[in-house]
Copies of this chain bind each other. A is one copy, B any other.
Amino acid sequence: MATKAVNPETQRAKLERKERAILEAARGVFVEHGFDGARMSEIARRASIGEGTIYSYYESKAELMLTVLQQFWDGLTLEAEAVMASSQVDGFFERLQALAQYHLSTVIENADFINLTFALRRNNSEVSVSRDHLRHYVAVFDQLFRRGQDRGEIRQDAVLWQARDVFYGTLEYSARSIEMTMDSNRTERQQGPVVDEMISLFRSHYAAAHDAVEADRATLDSLSSKLDQLSEQFDVLAKRLPQ
């Protein structure tokens, strides 16, 4: 009885363990050598299985890579959510800064995978990281942003997709620049300033503080009219004075 109940489980577990071994090996080889440089034979060797066995788990090298990439993006999403959850402070801009810091260092660290995600999209139209995985990742930003709007920390008329494009686009472009200056021996651009400038830009363009400027202008106007009023009173008084 025990064998009947347990064996199918352990058998399934065995297959799953093997599948995980393949994925782990594949991930390592892809990271080390890139997609074209990776050899299926090496992946098989590292996973301690025959080369042909891989093909009973995955259709092709591209599909294997795809699975690795999807696993990678899912991992990123979880980590990003964890960063948000563990954030000590509650303000929108502080959290945005934490997210920016996390995203920037991740993008620099895993530039290969991120490039490959979009490179594969074109080459093999059938095999590409599903839109949903990417959308799920950027949803972390979207949620943060909407919450900021709900709490009145951000302008109500701010456009979400625009903010998202600026956020991720700028960070990824900066990451590339940092990478490029890293492998030469010129003075390195640091990550800190990139994030700081970015947050400062968000503060100046998206903060509800823009309303504050409006408020300033209102105060100016009221002051001005008060002055006019006072001036009139002064005139009245002056006329009543004996020459």
* A interface residues (Cβ-Cβ under 8 A, vs B): 34-37, 111-112, 115-116, 118-119, 122-123, 131, 134, 159, 161-162, 165-166, 168-174, 176-177, 180, 184, 189, 193-194, 197-198, 201, 204-205, 213, 216-217, 219-220, 223-224, 226-227, 230-231, 233-234, 237-238, 240-241
Q: How many copies does the complex hold?
A: 2
Contacting pair B35 A162 (CB below 8 A): no
Partner of A123, one of B34, B180, B220, B237: B34
Contacting pair A165 B161 (CB below 8 A): no
Which residue of B is nearest A212, CB measured? B213
Set of chain B residues within 8 Å of A118, measured between Cβ atoms: 115, 176
Contacting pair A165 B159 (CB below 8 A): no
Contacting pair B116 A162 (CB below 8 A): no
Which residue of B is nearest A168, CB measured? B173
The 12 listed contacts between A and B (C-beta, < 8 Å) are: A37-B123, A115-B115, A116-B119, A118-B176, A162-B197, A168-B173, A169-B169, A169-B173, A169-B174, A172-B173, A216-B220, A230-B231
